[in-house]
Amino acid sequence: MSASREKKQRQNDPAGGLTQKQIQERKEEAIRKRNHIIYGIIGAVVVVLVAALLVWDSGFFQGRSTAITVNGRSFTPAEVAYYYYSNRNMYANYGLIDSTQSDKETIYDEESGQTYYDFFLDSAKSSLELIAAELDGASAEGVTLSEESRQNVEDTIQQVKDEASTYGYPYESYLKAAYGQYMTPSAFKSCLENAALASQYATEYQDSLTYDEAALDEYYQSNKDSLDTFVYRTLYFDGAAATVTDEDGNTVEATEEETQAAMDAAKAKADAMLAELEAGGDFDTLAQAAVDAAGEGVMSYNGEMTTIGSSLSGSSAAGSAAATWLKGDARTAGEYGVVSSDSGYYVVQFVERYLDETPTVDVRHILIKAETTDEDAEDESGNAIPSDEAMTAAQEEAQKLLDEFNAGDKTEDSFAALAEANSDDPGSSSNGGLYTNVRKGAMVDSFDAWIFDESRQPGDTGLVENTYSGQQGWHVMYFVGQNVPYWQYTATNSLKSTDMTEWQTQLVEGYEAVEADGLQYLTVS
């Protein structure tokens, strides 16, 4: 056989001219290679699956899933939880729910069978619908987060971090404890920023609303009883039956006869006082005589009272029954009356009612509270009474702050900065000590007297002592200026509230919160 023919035969021979032993070795090697590849692929798949399980257990996918959609906008379980728990935590703080019970197993509405889970979720959905609508509106109108809003977000984050530290939690763990396992610092910040932008957009619209005198007068005509100021006197005769205990010290419920007898006695006293008043008696004199006759702590009399109508029934001297009588259209100046309540009788004198046109004021202040110790005596309210030395120290600190202000540029902004850094008033320290639209009589007497002094001018400063229980100390004052009468301020706010509700209702038309698969990851108790 020629060499070329032999070569061609070897090429056509699958065995390649190998011996049987060589052929078997080749086959075994091929099998080993194939198995190696298969096992390698299987191993890679296993690694991927293990990694996926670890990521799944970490909550990466669940936290980024879609729990609710609103008009094309997706919300994660963490974002839903932010609004769910914001409402739930408020209920818990006010003791309106039992936090030890499961939301899904506790009934909120017996008639419908709605659970607290359903209630809080519905509330979250409503919030998300409004947030989505306001965010869309902000985007359409080019409204972006202001520096003030950004700072508010950062301040809130820092506040939560401080709370976490106070309770011994790492920040991230505290968020999960408050809003569920899928809440992260980045998700929390995103929730705050969205809420801040939505709020900013709504506030800008609200601030754009204005009302002329005709609109304010129309509101007044429909709400005189709330906006008018009432001057009156009242004395209350308690008609509750005397408390009786048995030999074991247990309270014995009064019988119907005893209850009626006590009411009859109260009415007799009220009627007797009314007769004396109508005969020309002086209310203050007769009232004080009744208080003295009843004994210490049994009755009290506050003299002539001046109260705006919206606060009348909530005042200490006028219950709802007396308030209704005072607001009656037929009242005349100096008129007396006896008014019954569920548990006693009022003797009432209507002095006058009027629309108070006194301007409100805007004022800034810095409160320096006097320090107290455990050794200090307590007042009737249980608050410590600071020593004279502590009050003097507070006055000296207040004077130093006033001197520091006067040594600077003496602007409102510089005073606001001092207030934010030094004031002990939690209600105003964060906004530079500012109170706006303060009506006469709303503040403690010394504060009120200073800001409503007829000679007061914008930019005036001074020191005012505060002797009110629990707030004893000194105020550093800065008078900003006068503002509209309180009734106009109230009317404007009420009209704005009505118009804002209508605006938001129109804004969310067509917006519907639709549940998605990710809602199963909303962590609730």
Residue 54 lies in a domain: yes
DSSP structure class, residue 519: G
Residue 291 is assigned to a structural domain of this protein: yes
Any domain includes 213:
no
Count of CB atoms situated within 10 Å of the CB of 64: 15
> Which residues, 6 or more positions from 376, have their beta carbon under 8 angstroms from its beta carbon?
384, 385, 386, 387
Residue 519 lies in a domain: no
- Is 516 within a domain? no
Are residue 310 and residue 243 in the same domain, yes or no? yes
- Report which residue type is found at 281: G
Q: Is residue 218 part of a domain?
A: no
The CATH number of the domain holding residue 343 is 3.10.50
DSSP-derived secondary structure for 246-296: -TTSPEEPPPHHHHHHHHHHHHHHHHHHHHHHHTT--HHHHHHHHHHHH-T
Asked whether residue 506 is domain-assigned, the answer is no
Q: Which pLDDT tens digits describe the chain residue by residue (525 residues)?
A: 444 444 444 444 444 455 555 555 555 555 555 555 444 444 444 343 333 333 334 455 676 799 999 999 999 999 999 999 999 988 888 888 887 889 999 999 999 999 999 999 999 999 999 999 999 999 999 999 999 999 999 999 999 999 999 999 999 999 999 998 899 999 999 999 999 999 999 999 999 999 999 999 999 999 999 999 999 999 999 998 887 777 777 877 888 899 999 999 999 999 999 999 999 999 999 999 999 998 877 888 999 999 999 988 766 567 788 999 999 988 999 999 999 998 899 999 999 999 999 999 999 999 999 999 988 999 888 899 999 999 999 999 999 999 999 999 999 999 999 999 999 999 898 899 999 999 998 999 999 999 999 999 999 999 999 999 989 999 999 999 999 999 999 999 999 999 999 999 999 999 999 999 999 988 887
DSSP 52: H
Is 317 found in the same domain as 257?
A: yes
Q: Residues 251, 363: one domain?
A: no
**Contact indicator for 428, 419 with CB cutoff of 8 Å:** yes
**Domain final position from 354, 382, 412:** 354
Q: Based on the fold, state whether residues 172 and 234 are members of the same structural domain.
A: no
Last residue of a domain, one of 319, 354, 389: 354
Residues 502/239, Cβ–Cβ less than 8 Å: no
Q: Which residues pair with 224 in a beta bridge?
A: none
- 142, 201: one domain: yes
Last residue of a domain, one of 309, 327, 354: 354
What whole-number distance in Å separates Cα of residue 510 and Cα of residue 111? 29
Residues 241 and 273 in one domain: yes
Q: Domain containing 476: what range? A: 359-486
Q: What is the pTM of this model?
A: 0.75
Residue 522 vs residues 77, 124, 178, 448, 517: alpha-carbon distances, Å: 5, 12, 13, 50, 10
429 and 349 housed in the same domain: no
**Total domains in the fold of the chain:** 4
Position 321 in a domain: yes
